[in-house]
C-alpha cells in the first residue's frame, strides 16, 4: 500500500496514514489536488484527505474534489489532534512576532492565538510545512502551530503544548483509491445528491432514510458553481447500500432527486482495541 497525503513529514495527514497502516509507503504531496493526481496516475494506491474537524469544521475543498475526481471512498480514520506552539531553540514567547500554520490549525487554536497580543497570524499550506519553514529560514521571531512529531523531525522546540481550543480535538480523514475495494466490510456510505428548489424538498429527501431507521451521521451542503444559489447535499449513512432498507431508500430518493451518486461504501472507523492487561 502506498498512501499519498498532503503536507510534509510531521503532518497530521501523515500520522493518520501511519495509523491506518504503520508499514505503508508514504508519498508527500504539496496540495490536496496533488493527492488526487497521485492516485489518478497510479503513483499511489490510496490517498488520504482530512474531511472534517471537531473544532474547525469541514474542509470544504475536499468535498468538491471528491466529486470532481470520482475516486471511490474506501475507508475512513479518526485521529486525535494535539497542537503545539513550536519555535527554533532559544526563541521565547516574548520574542514571537508571527505564528504560521494551515488555516485549519489556526482555527483550532483561535482562543490561544487571541491571547498573543501584537502577533501576526499567517496562514500557510501545511502545519508541518510551517515548522519546516521556520527551521530552514532560522526565524527566531516566529513560531508554528504543528505536531510534536514535526518539532522532533525538524529539531525544533515545543514552547507550549496542547494549544488547541478543546482538549478532545479530532479530525476525520477519508481514504480514496482507484479501485472500488473497501478496506474492510462496509457499513457506512457517502452519497451526494441535488434537489429541486421547492418547498419541502429536503424534508422529503431525509424522510426516505428516517422512515427506514437509517442514521445520517453527517449532512453537508455545497454550492453548485454553474447554478447560482443551488446546492449539492453530501450525506453519510450508517448503512451498506446492498442492505435491502438502504437500497430501497436510495431508489426512493432517486425518484425525485435530479441527481444522485454514491461516493463510496466503506467500514466506519473503529478505535483499535487495547491489548488486555496481563
Gap between the Cα atoms of 143 and 160, Å rounded: 11
The CA distances from residue 104 to 125, 126, 130, 239, 275, in Å, are: 10, 9, 13, 30, 33
The CA distances from residue 250 to 70, 180, 190, 216, 231, in Å, are: 19, 19, 12, 13, 19
The alpha carbon of 200 is separated from its chain's Cα centroid by a whole number of angstroms, namely 31
| Cβ neighbours around 109 below 10 Å, total | 25
pLDDT tens across the length of the chain (278 residues): 999 999 999 999 999 999 999 999 999 999 999 999 999 999 999 999 999 999 989 999 999 999 999 899 999 999 999 999 999 999 999 999 999 999 999 999 999 999 999 999 999 989 999 999 999 999 999 999 999 999 999 999 999 999 999 988 999 999 999 999 999 999 999 999 999 888 999 999 999 999 999 999 999 999 998 888 889 999 999 999 999 999 999 999 999 999 999 999 999 998 776 555 55
Whether 190 is catalytic? no
Hunting for cell 472507523 — which residue is that?
A: 269
Residues 2/45, Cβ–Cβ less than 8 Å = yes
| CATH 3.60.70.12 assigned to 2-81+169-177 | no
Find the catalytic residue in 171, 189, 190, 233.
171
Look up the pTM and report it: 0.90
Q: List the beta strands (DSSP E) in the chain.
A: 2-6, 25-29, 46-53, 57-58, 73-80, 84-87, 98-101, 120-123, 142-146, 157-161, 170-177, 188-194, 216-224, 227-237, 259-266
Gap between the Cα atoms of 58 and 56, Å rounded: 7
Equal fold, 2-81+169-177 vs 188-266: no
Mapped onto helix, strand or coil, the DSSP state of residue 67 is helix
Under 8 Å CB-to-CB from 223, ≥6 apart: which residues?
Answer: 229, 230, 231, 232
**Can you read off the three cell numbers belonging to residue 209?**
432514510
Find the catalytic residue in 32, 36, 112, 173.
173
pLDDT at 49: 97
Angle at 124 between CA 1 and CA 91, to 5 degrees: 105
Angle at 265 between CA 260 and CA 268, to 5 degrees: 130
* CATH classification (class only), 188-266: alpha beta
Decide which of 3.40.190.10, 1.10.3720.10, 3.40.50.150, 3.40.50.410 is the CATH code for 84-161.
3.40.190.10
Whether 256 is catalytic? no
**Can you read off the three cell numbers belonging to residue 115?**
491571547
Distance separating the N- and C-terminal Cα atoms of the chain: 33
> What residues does each domain of the chain span?
2-81+169-177, 84-161, 188-266
The CA distances from residue 264 to 61, 151, 252, in Å, are: 18, 36, 19
pLDDT at 197: 87
Amino acid at each position: 500500500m502506498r498512501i499519498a497525503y498532503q503536507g510534509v513529514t510531521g503532518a497530521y495527514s501523515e500520522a493518520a496514514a501511519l495509523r491506518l497502516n504503520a508499514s505503508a509507503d508514504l508519498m508527500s504531496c504539496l496540495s490536496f489536488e496533488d493527492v488526487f493526481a497521485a492516485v489518478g496516475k497510479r503513483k499511489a494506491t490510496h490517498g488520504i484527505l482530512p474531511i472534517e474537524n471537531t473544532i474547525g469544521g469541514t474542509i470544504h475543498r475536499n468535498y468538491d474534489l471528491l466529486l470532481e475526481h470520482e475516486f471511490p471512498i474506501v475507508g475512513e480514520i479518526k485521529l486525535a489532534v494535539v497542537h503545539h506552539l513550536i519555535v527554533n531553540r532559544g526563541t521565547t514567547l516574548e520574542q514571537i512576532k508571527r505564528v504560521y500554520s494551515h488555516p485549519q490549525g489556526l482555527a483550532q487554536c483561535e482562543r490561544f492565538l487571541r491571547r498573543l497580543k501584537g502577533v501576526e497570524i499567517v496562514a500557510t499550506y501545511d502545519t508541518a510545512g510551517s515548522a519546516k519553514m521556520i527551521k530552514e529560514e532560522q526565524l527566531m521571531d516566529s513560531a508554528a502551530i504543528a505536531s510534536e512529531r514535526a518539532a522532533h523531525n525538524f529539531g525544533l522546540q515545543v514552547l507550549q503544548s496542547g494549544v488547541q481550543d478543546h482538549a478532545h480535538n479530532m479530525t476525520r480523514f477519508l481514504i480514496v483509491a482507484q479501485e472500488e475495494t473497501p478496506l474492510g466490510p462496509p457499513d457506512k456510505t457517502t452519497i451526494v445528491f441535488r434537489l429541486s428548489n421547492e418547498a419541502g424538498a429536503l424534508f422529503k429527501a431525509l424522510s426516505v432514510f428516517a422512515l427506514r431507521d437509517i442514521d445520517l451521521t453527517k449532512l453537508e451542503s455545497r454550492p453548485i458553481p454553474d447554478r447560482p444559489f443551488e446546492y449539492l447535499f453530501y450525506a453519510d449513512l450508517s448503512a451498506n447500500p446492498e442492505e435491502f432498507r438502504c437500497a430501497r431508500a436510495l431508489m426512493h430518493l432517486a425518484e425525485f432527486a435530479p441527481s444522485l451518486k454514491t461516493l463510496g461504501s466503506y467500514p466506519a472507523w473503529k478505535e483499535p482495541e487495547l491489548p488486555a492487561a496481563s
